[in-house]
Chains A and B, each alone.
Chain A
Amino acid sequence: MTILTPLPDNTQPANLPPPANWRKYFSFSHDHKVIGIQYLVTSFFFYLIGGALAAAVRTELATPASDFVSPELYNSLFTLHGTVMIFLWIVPATAGFINYLVPLMIGARDMAFPRLNALAFWIIPPAGILLMASFFVTGGPAGAGWTSYPPLSTMSPKAGELIWILSVLLLGSSSILGAVNFVVTIWKMRHPKMGWNDMPLVCWASLATGVLILLSTPVLAGALILLSFDLIVGTAFFNPTGGGDPIVYQHMFWFYSHPAVYIMILPVFGMISEIIPVHARKPIFGYRAIAYSSLAICFLGLIVWAHHMFTSGTPPWLRMFFMFATMVIAVPTGIKVFSWVATLWGGKLNLNSALFFAMGFVSMFVIGGISGVMLAAVPFDIHVHDTYFVVAHFHYVLFGGSVFGLYAGIYHWFPKMTGRMMNETLGKIHFALTFIGFNLTFLPMHKLGLEGMNRRIAEYDPKYATINMICTIGTYLLAVSTFPFIINAVWSWIKGEKAVANPWSGLTLEWSTSSPPPEENFETEPVLLCHPYAYGKRPQVPPSGNLDPATSPLST
Chain B
Amino acid sequence: MTGSTLDSSQAELIISAEEMGHQAHPDYRITGVLVFLVAEAMIFLGLFTAYLTFRAVAPVWPPEGTPERELLLPGINTAILIASSFVIHNADTAIKKNDVKGMRLWFGLTAAMGAVFLVGQLFEYFHLEFGLTTNLYASTFYVLTGFHGLHVTFGLLLILAVLWRSLKPDHYNSKHHFGIEAAEIYWHFVDVVWIVLFLLLYIL
- Contact residues of A with B, CB < 8 Å? 108-110, 112-116, 119, 123, 165-166, 169-170, 173-174, 176-177, 179-181, 183-184, 187-189, 214-219, 221-226, 228-229, 232-237, 242-245, 248, 251-252, 255
Q: A176-B39, A214-B35, A244-B136 are in contact. Are A222 and B53 (CB under 8 A)?
A: no
Stretch of B11-19, B151-159, B173-181 that contacts chain A: B11-19
What are 24 A-to-B residue pairs whose CB atoms are below 8 Å? A113-B17, A113-B28, A116-B13, A119-B13, A119-B16, A166-B5, A170-B5, A176-B9, A180-B13, A184-B31, A189-B25, A217-B42, A225-B2, A225-B47, A225-B143, A226-B50, A228-B1, A229-B132, A233-B132, A233-B133, A237-B54, A237-B136, A237-B140, A244-B136
- Which residues from chain B contact A114 at a C-beta distance below 8 Å? 20, 23
Question: Are A237 and B5 closer than 8 Å at their CB atoms?
Answer: no
Assess the B25–A169 pair: CB atoms within 8 A.
no
Q: Is B6 an interface residue (CB 8 A)?
A: yes
Residues of A within 8 A of B67 (CB): none
Q: Which of B2, B3, B26, B32 contacts A180 (CB 8 A)?
A: B32
DSSP majority for the B interface? helix
In the assembly, what is the distance between CA of A223 and CA of B50, in Å?
9
Whole-angstrom distance between the Cβ of B1 and the nearest chain A Cβ: 7
Cβ-based interface call for B93 (8 A): no
8 closest Cβ pairs, A-B complex: A222-B46, A218-B43, A219-B46, A218-B42, A235-B139, A115-B16, A173-B9, A243-B136
Q: Are B53 and A251 in contact (CB under 8 A)?
A: yes
B46 in contact with A187 (CB, 8 Å): no
CA distance in complex: A187, B6 (Å) = 25
Say yes or no for B38: interface residue by CB 8 A criterion.
yes
Task: Find chain A residues with CB under 8 A from B23 CB.
Answer: 110, 114
A150 to B: closest C-beta gap in Å: 13
For residue B200, CB closer than 8 A to chain A, the reply is: no
Interchain CB contact (< 8 A) of B19 among A115, A218, A219, A221: A115
Q: How far is B23's CA from A108's CA once the two chains are assembled, in angstroms?
A: 12
Q: Using Cβ atoms and an 8 Å threshold, which residues of chain B touch A242?
A: 133, 135-136
CB distance from B189 to the nearest CB of A (A): 13
Classify the interface of chain A: helix, strand, loop or mixed: helix
Near A by CB (< 8 A), chain B positions 18-70 give 19-20, 23-26, 28-29, 31-32, 35-36, 38-47, 49-50, 53-54, 57-58, 63
Is the pair B13, A236 in contact by a Cβ cutoff of 8 Å? no
Q: In the complex, what residues of A have CB within 8 A of residue B139's CB?
A: 229, 235-237
- B130 is an interface residue with CB less than 8 A from chain A: no
Most buried by B among A181, A189, A237: A237
Q: How far is the CA of A516 from the CA of B120 in the complex (A)?
A: 58
Say which residue of A116, A170, A184 sits within 8 Å of B16 (CB atoms). A116
Which of A109, A169, A177, A255 has a CB less than 8 Å from the CB of B2? Answer: A169
Contact with A along B100-130 (1 / 0, CB 8 A): 0000000000000000000000000000000
Q: Which residues of B contact A183 (CB under 8 A)?
A: 35
Number of interface residues of B (CB under 8 A): 47
CA–CA, A217 and B9, complex, Å: 14
- B147: Cβ under 8 A from any A Cβ: yes
Q: Which residues of B contact A189 (CB under 8 A)?
A: 25, 28
Contacts of A232 in B (CB 8 A): 1
- CB <8 Å contact, B31 and A188: yes
Question: Do A235 and B132 form a contact, CB below 8 Å, given A187-B31, A222-B46?
Answer: yes
Considering the chains assembled together, what is the distance between the CA atoms of A232 and B43 in angstroms? 21
Complex Cα distance, B31 from A125, in Å, reads 28
CB contacts (< 8 Å) of A166 on chain B: these are 1-2, 5
Give the residues in chain A near B143, CB-CB below 8 Å: 225-226, 229, 235, 237
Cβ-neighbour of B135 out of A218, A243, A248 (below 8 A):
A243
- How close is B101's CB to chain A, nearest CB, in angstroms? 31
Question: In the assembled complex, which residues on chain B have CB atoms less than 8 Å from the CB atom of A165?
Answer: 2
Distance in angstroms from B199 CB to nearest chain A CB is 19
Do B42 and A173 have beta carbons less than 8 Å apart?
A: no
**Chain B residues within an 8 Å CB radius of A113:** 16-17, 20, 28-29, 32
Q: How far is the CA of A180 from the CA of B31 in the complex (A)?
A: 9
A267 CB, min distance to chain B CBs, angstroms? 18
Check if A184 sits within 8 Å of B6, measured CB to CB: no
